[in-house]
Amino acid sequence: MVRLEAVLNSWKTVRQDTVQAVADMPDLSYQPTPELMAFRDLAVHVLNAGHALTQLLLDGTEDMSAAGFREKMAAYFLSVPANAEAGELVEKLTATLETDAAELAARPAEFWAGMITRFDGQRLTRLEMLQFIKEHELTHRSQMFMYLRLKGIVPPPTRRKMAKK
């Protein structure tokens, strides 16, 4: 059985590397090809998707497949300037997860066992949805790491591993 504390601690670790990737990227407007999101846009997407989906869970939303879900989600998006600098993104990414994680941790076990419908129609527990939110960030964090590599920058986890040798 997966414990809430383990999911939150894991997400915090993922977020630390996301934050470090943002801090390390010298050109937030970098976009490897026109059809891919720019690095800054990835960071904002991670910020807003993680926060909005978390807030919807906390608000007791049970059906994310219902009409108007995207609009409901957008109500939780944070205001981020189109040309936001790394420092602002780092601050928002850090502060938002700290606040959200504290709110999530305060919910009782019964809350996490409750079933919801995800936006794709899949039924899952709230804890499984939280795991999905973390995995969503992992996916985009990997994309950010690829962008760093394309700029000749070693991503944070690899730097840590290399430092241990």
- At 54-100, the pLDDT tens digits run 999 999 999 999 999 999 999 999 999 999 999 999 999 999 999 99
pTM, full prediction: 0.94
| pLDDT tens for each residue of 129-164 | 999 999 999 999 999 999 999 999 999 989 988 888
pLDDT average, residue stretch 49-56: 98
Region 98-112 average pLDDT:
97
Q: Measure CA 67 to chain center.
A: 23
Domain of 88 in residue numbering reads as 4-164
Domain count, the chain: 1
Residue 145 is predicted with a pLDDT of: 98
What's residue 1's pLDDT? Answer: 74
Does pLDDT of 165 surpass 80?
no
Q: What is the CA 19 to chain-centroid distance, rounded?
A: 10
Instruction: Give the pLDDT confidence score for residue 130 in this predicted structure.
Output: 98
Residue 51 DSSP SS3? helix
Q: How far apart are alpha carbons 139 and 53 in whole angstroms? A: 16
For the domain that residue 154 is a member of, what is the CATH number?
1.20.120.450
Question: In degrees, to the nearest 5, what angle opens at C-alpha 155 toward C-alphas 152 and 159?
Answer: 105
Q: Is the dihedral of CA 57, 101, 128, 17 positive or negative?
A: positive
Specify the pLDDT at position 102: 98
| Whether pLDDT at 2 is above 90 | no
